[in-house]
Chains A and B, each alone.
Chain A
Amino acid sequence: MSAAPAAVFFALAALASFVVRDAFLLDSLILILLWGSAAAAWNVAGGYAGQISLGHSAFFGLGAYGAAVLGTRWDLSAWIGLAVGAVVATAAGLVLGFLSNRLRGPYFVLATIAFSQVLLIVASRLRAFTAGSEGIPVPFRPGFWTLGLADKRVWVWIVLVVAVLAYLLQRYLDVSRRGYQLAAVREDEDAALSLGVAARRLKVAAIAVSAALTAVTGALWAQYVGFVDPFYVFSVDLSVRFALASIIGGLGTALGPFLGAVLVTTVETYLRAQFGGIGAGLVGIYLVVYGTALIVMVRFAPQGLVGWLRRS
């Protein structure tokens, strides 16, 4: 697929940051780009390498906690927290990559869920370090260095840079040698091995890169939203959100996760706004929609939006 639609997409986002003044719309834009980047990171492992993980919230959470803990405890820069989160997540990604070499299909999925649940329990129980199940409020410290940015336009630019990087990473996998080899591993690992592809190393690398990128989005999210709740950042629902955006947009396509994120984020924002006020329980409706969408998409449109656009 050509890069033109993506160029249009990102250019529009950049343009919007200059034109749009409405805080709500800017907020939506930031979240779309952020969730799009997280979905793109998931897509590197799930779509390109075929390693379906429902434990990716583990990496998101590590990034979020990295930024929050280092910022509140040692008063370090949010950027350092982000970097530390990414490094820790890469290490965790290596562990998950190791699992992917031993487990196939549904067993890998099960293991990834267990993996994120372990981190959830650790984060919510290690009171001394993470403030336990209450979560960590991230204090607003003005300045770029501490990512305390009142101007939402600056946020748009920051997440836009991350989004473009995530997109370019996927484009690299569309056209490069490693990309072809990774596709072979996804389609049939044994056949790839028989053709001289170092399948295991490649898979581990893909998962580790995916983990690092997910952690970056997690750290930014924590700084932007200002609060880290272990039951949210390590939840299976969050992992499913990444996967869902990729699937809706188109598995293994570079632009797909972003298109998916547009849809998922918009629908969620709308449903939350519609039902949020009536009763706390009704907030769950957007998750019912998620679940249903997942079932419907894999059955009727496994190629996602991108596949659908390509055909028409």
Chain B
Amino acid sequence: MGLTLIFGVMRVVNFAHGEFLMLGMYVAFWAFALLHFDPYVTLIVSLPLFFALGWVSYRLIMRPVVHASHNVQVFTTVGLSIALQNIALVLWTADARFVRTSYYAVVVRVADAAFNVAQFVAFGVAVACTAALFAFMRWSYTGKVMRATAQDRQASALMGIDTDRVYALTWTIGIACVGVAGVLLAPVYPVYPTAGLQFVLIAYVAVVLGGLGDMAGALLASLIVAAVEVAGSYVIGTAWKEVLYLLLFIAILMVRPAGLFGQRGAEALGT
């Protein structure tokens, strides 16, 4: 979701997204282990924290390259990703860590499927966040400005929109979203330095499937991915599930290249 936002407005593919997710999970873990904070309490505390982190990382790292070529942006975010991953490795070792809440084993039944509470809450908060973000983009002035910038950088700049601020805000909100997501996932999945990767690949599949930059599409697509996941592990076993994802991911990229990202599609509309 944060991914969609960042890409949609800034046209930057953020390869470090998963690492912010990982950081979110670690925040939840340490808050739980050291301060005995429930992850859902941490959620509230971490929101400003990730806003700050997003803002700082934008100022220091992203701002100089917002207008640079795609390749520069790719390398910058890849570099960020590797650095964060290994900082985590150095600081917290490669061990997988768990947040074991008292209600870990509590299961909620919906129809035939069983979810534990944490999954259920994560899903609920995700939907609420999406709705809030969607409303924000649609109706608030800032949201409108962000969408305008997404459509035409130059024109927006000419209209007196401070595009730099828009980018900063977009990046920050995007990072905040993913940080929160990390906190939410902590009670469900183990935390380790490369934890971000597996989620971010799934997120990318969802985002690309739904259309980059399209939030409602992304939500719909993540449901499809979830369905594929369940069906996939049933049919071919969990071990090969990831291969299925990745192939699906490549296939999706292949099937819809021009419409989504090709220059030619854009040209066609311009004539």
Contact = CB atoms under 8 A, between A and B. Distances in A.
Asked if A pairs with B, the answer is yes
Interface of A: 50, 52, 54, 99, 102-107, 109-111, 114-115, 117-118, 121-122, 125, 190, 237, 240, 243, 247, 279-282, 284-285, 287-288, 290-295, 297-299, 302
Contacts of B67: none
Contacts of A104: 257, 261-263
25 contacts: A50-B71, A54-B78, A102-B254, A103-B254, A106-B74, A110-B13, A110-B204, A111-B253, A114-B201, A114-B250, A115-B246, A118-B246, A121-B240, A247-B75, A280-B94, A282-B90, A288-B82, A288-B86, A290-B82, A291-B79, A291-B85, A294-B82, A298-B75, A299-B72, A302-B72
Contacts of A240: 78, 82
A282 B61 CA distance: 24
A110 B90 CA distance: 26
Contacts of A280: 93-94
Contacts of A279: 93
Contacts of B158: none
Contact of A281 (B15, B85, B94): B94
Interface in B79-100: 79-87, 89-94
B73 A121 contact: no
Interface in B35-65: 61, 64-65
Contact of B246 (A103, A109, A114, A298): A114
Contacts of A298: 65, 68, 71-72, 75-76, 79
B175 to A, nearest CB: 16
Interface in B210-235: none
A54 B197 CA distance: 14
A237 B82 contact: yes
Given A281-B92, A287-B83, 16 more contacts: A99-B253, A102-B254, A105-B74, A107-B261, A118-B246, A121-B240, A284-B87, A284-B193, A287-B82, A291-B81, A291-B85, A291-B86, A294-B76, A298-B65, A298-B75, A298-B79
Contacts of A105: 70-71, 74, 261
Contacts of A299: 64-65, 72, 76
Going nearest first, the 8 A-B pairs with the smallest beta carbon separation are A291-B83, A294-B79, A291-B82, A106-B13, A284-B89, A284-B86, A287-B86, A295-B79
A165 to B, nearest CB: 27
A145 to B, nearest CB: 36
A111 B250 CA distance: 6
B111 interface: no
Nearest to B254: A102
Given A110-B253, A294-B78, A288 B83 contact: yes
Contacts of B201: 114, 117
A103 B253 contact: yes
B249 interface: yes
A99 B250 contact: yes
A136 B246 CA distance: 25
A293 B79 contact: yes
Contacts of A107: 13, 253, 257, 261
Contact of B76 (A99, A114, A115, A295): A295
Contacts of A284: 86-87, 89-90, 193
Contacts of A285: 86, 90
Given A99-B250, A288-B87, A295-B76, A190 B257 contact: no
Nearest to A239: B78
A284 B201 CA distance: 23
B222 to A, nearest CB: 17
Nearest to B267: A190
B215 to A, nearest CB: 19
B70 A106 contact: yes
A282 B81 CA distance: 17
Contact of B93 (A109, A281, A287, A297): A281
A294 B87 CA distance: 15
Contacts of A190: 263-264
Contacts of B94: 280-281
A99 B83 CA distance: 28
B83 A295 contact: yes
